[in-house]
Structure 1
Amino acid sequence: MSMLVVESSPWSENDFGIPYPTYFHPAKDADVFSWQDRMRKLERKWLFSFAGGPRPGDSKSIRGHIIDQCKKSELGKLLECQLSEQSECHSPSRVMQMFQSSLFCLQPQGDSFTRRSAFDSMLAGCIPVFFHPASAYVQYTWHLPKEYEKYSVFIPEDDIRGGNVSIEERLSQISAEEVKMTREEVISLIPRLIYADPRSKLETLRDAFDVAVEAVIDRVTRLRRDIMEGGSVEDSEEKNS
């Protein structure tokens, strides 16, 4: 059985990570193209931003360090999430507005290795900054490039935890040309990360559902061929990544 889940285990042979659903469910190709053009033209006044709350009960969490750096930086924007119903993080428009105004979006671990925010930020054309490989690089291998530096920035958790890295300084060192190329890669990935309105069908683009179904069919075909030829049936792109 092949299981499609929003967060997979790289040590499992049968479950495969697919993108978290975002707020955008286009009905036709033109909706996607229009969105991508808009994301390219937006003015992004913040160097980086973070939407999330601290994890005071988790000694391994780096969220407190990230929140502190956001508060101290004039180039960083923070949307601090609270447990109350009135938290701004519960407002899709506030979250997406911040992501659309940022060059980089910080994506530390959430309650698990990854978080929905990573896909919301890429939908906004914001370059994700990951701090743990399991947040994206060892899953979503059907939807994201294996060459992770093409669409993201990686800063090791230990560097943040030890106070060895200034996020502002690290991101400021990336040239404007490199930022432009990386952002364009993120924007080009948008069709593969969104789920189209199920009442319609995209004409030329493949959404996250199409990509996943084609990958499962291809996997089953290869497994059947291996069985017929008497070869090994082990197959785990995510484990190998």
Structure 2
Amino acid sequence: MVSSQASAVLRARRWLLPLAIASCCVMRVVIVLMPPPRDLDASHRKSFHVSVGEIVGAMPVPGRQDVVHASPPPPPPERVARTEAPPSSPPPEPPESEEIVDTSPKRRAKRERIFDASQPPPVRQERTRKPAADPCTGRYIYIQDLPSQFNADLLRDCRSMSEWTDMCSHFTLEVIFHNRMRQYGCLTADASHAAAVYVPYYPGLNVGRHLWGFSNGVRDALVEDLVDRLWATPAWAAHGGQDHFLVGGRIAWHFHREDGGVWGSRLLFLPEARNMTALVLESGPWHAGDVGRRQWLIAFAGARWAGGGGTLCDAVIDQCARSRRCGLLQCGWCGRRNDCYAPGNVVRHFKSAAFCLQPPGYSYTRRSAFDAMLAGCVPVFFHPSSAYTQYRWHLPVDHAKYSVFVPGNSVRNGTVRVKDVLRRFGRAEVAATSEQVV
């Protein structure tokens, strides 16, 4: 019996031993893989103890009269300030990713002001940006508003523009330029902001319809209507049309019909058109008052003194009368024609010469000096008080840019001839001086 029990125990031990070994291995694996228990930090532990103390102190314990309160946590140990010697080298700068916290008294005071609810919030000052420069400054162009009869309607009559060619399949300079102006990047709708005013009139297309078989009244009808409209606009009143310009697709000869002529229009002879700038296919120097093509070198309009000879004015008249290059228009009681009181006669006379003589008469100044400037004629003065010391607000400081000075005493005593002085100026120099006058 005993032996049978012993043999049974031995058989059981043989099976239990492997099971025990396997169980030990499993437990070891579980222990190794199990995560460590979370360690509450000081703040969590502190709040935990305080909560427990409050709960314990608030709950009475049966069988006891006193109330058990949790003891407060011990105070933290005092920190001992350590005095360290300053480092021999400056500390390294913190990396850019770290935030530098300024704990200075000034910084703390600033933070206290920020979080002080009794103080009004600080006003944030916006940084004012300098406005960018306008690229169109000085380049704005205003397109004058004109009825279609001055441009678009002329294109509808393209078959009548030429006797030999159908012009409907061709584009002229006027049409091309008008289209380009519509695409210009610095257009303005306010004429007061414009540096120039474009007049979208097609003068070449207009005159081309009436070159043959029409009266001058028909040729000039649309032109005169144009200048009347322009004259009545605020844009024209601002500068008298001097900032207006137009483009013509024909040569200048087609727009310069003189009185009695039978070809072209008189567009560029109208007083209003003279103030404008006309861009045409070729210039007309014989009409534009080019000093190189003027009839005389010198011109004079005036009269001798009634009190007798010997004056500077008399000397100038005598020298002009003896020269074939001087045009003399005598006025007053001793003149052959009493026509100096008509401004048109005087201006036409001065337009025929490059230089206009301005000797002093009953006074130093002469109205004739301004008549000459209007005609594009360079004034010749014989005394500083005739212009230089009189019109300091109106005439350039550099007198040589727009005039010529000849000493009057030298002319009166016969030692200087005005013609010899003026012949020394070259053609280019005369043209530049005349341009300054204009």
Q: CA deviation at 1:160?
A: 0.6
Of 313, 316, 326 in structure 2, the residue corresponding to residue 63 of structure 1 is 313
Q: CA deviation at 1:34?
A: 4.0
Q: CA deviation at 1:70?
A: 0.9
Of 395, 398, 419 in structure 2, the residue corresponding to residue 168 of structure 1 is 419
Structure 1 residues 120 and 39, CA gap change in structure 2 (3 angstroms): farther
Residues 107-154 of structure 1: CA deviation (Å, up to 9, x unaligned): 011221101110010000000000000000002111101110000000
Alpha-carbon distance in structure 2 between the residues aligned to 1:138 and 1:50: 22
Alpha-carbon distance in structure 1 between the residues aligned to 2:288 and 2:372: 11
Of 241, 247, 262 in structure 2, the residue corresponding to residue 28 of structure 1 is 241
What is the number of equivalent residue pairs in this alignment?
162
Alpha-carbon distance in structure 2 between the residues aligned to 1:69 and 1:84: 17
Alpha-carbon distance in structure 2 between the residues aligned to 1:47 and 1:40: 13
1:114–1:134 CA contact under 8 A, matched in 2: yes
Alpha-carbon distance in structure 2 between the residues aligned to 1:59 and 1:79: 18
Q: Secondary structure at the match of 1:90?
A: coil
Determine whether 1:112 maps to 2:370. Answer: no
Q: CA deviation at 1:167?
A: 1.1
Report what 1:152 is aligned to: 403
Determine whether 1:139 maps to 2:352. Answer: no
Alpha-carbon distance in structure 2 between the residues aligned to 1:57 and 1:150: 36
Report what 1:212 is aligned to: none
Q: Which has the higher contact order (CA 8 A, sep 6+)?
A: 1
TM-score, length of structure 2 as denominator length: 0.35
Question: Which one has a bigger Cα radius of gyration?
Answer: 2
Alpha-carbon distance in structure 2 between the residues aligned to 1:76 and 1:59: 20
Which stretches in structure 1 are left out of the alignment for 5+ residues? 1-25, 188-241
1:151–1:185 CA contact under 8 A, matched in 2: yes
Alpha-carbon distance in structure 2 between the residues aligned to 1:175 and 1:84: 35
Alpha-carbon distance in structure 2 between the residues aligned to 1:87 and 1:155: 29
Letter paired with 2:408? E
Of 310, 328, 339 in structure 2, the residue corresponding to residue 78 of structure 1 is 328
Q: CA deviation at 1:105?
A: 0.2
Alpha-carbon distance in structure 2 between the residues aligned to 1:155 and 1:60: 18
Residues 20-69 of structure 1: CA deviation (Å, up to 9, x unaligned): xxxxxx95335353499965447411000110001142677311111111
Q: Secondary structure at the match of 1:79?
A: strand
Q: Secondary structure at the match of 1:185?
A: helix
Q: Secondary structure at the match of 1:88?
A: coil
TM-score, length of structure 1 as denominator length: 0.61
Alpha-carbon distance in structure 2 between the residues aligned to 1:104 and 1:35: 25
Report what 2:234 is aligned to: none
Letter paired with 2:342? S
Structure 1 residues 84 and 60, CA gap change in structure 2 (3 angstroms): closer
Alpha-carbon distance in structure 2 between the residues aligned to 1:133 and 1:100: 24
Letter paired with 1:99? F
Report what 1:49 is aligned to: 299
Structure 1 residue runs of 4 or more that deviate by more than 2 Å after TM superposition: 26-43, 58-61, 83-86
Alpha-carbon distance in structure 2 between the residues aligned to 1:105 and 1:150: 15
Report what 1:122 is aligned to: 373
Which stretches in structure 2 are left out of the alignment for 5+ residues? 1-238, 245-271, 279-284
More strand by share: 1
1:65–1:160 CA contact under 8 A, matched in 2: yes
Identity of aligned residues (%): 43
Alpha-carbon distance in structure 1 between the residues aligned to 2:387 and 2:410: 19
Q: Secondary structure at the match of 1:119?
A: helix
Q: CA deviation at 1:183?
A: 0.5
Letter paired with 1:63? C
Alpha-carbon distance in structure 2 between the residues aligned to 1:35 and 1:141: 29
Letter paired with 1:28? G
Alpha-carbon distance in structure 2 between the residues aligned to 1:123 and 1:84: 27
Alpha-carbon distance in structure 2 between the residues aligned to 1:182 and 1:116: 20
Q: Secondary structure at the match of 1:83?
A: coil
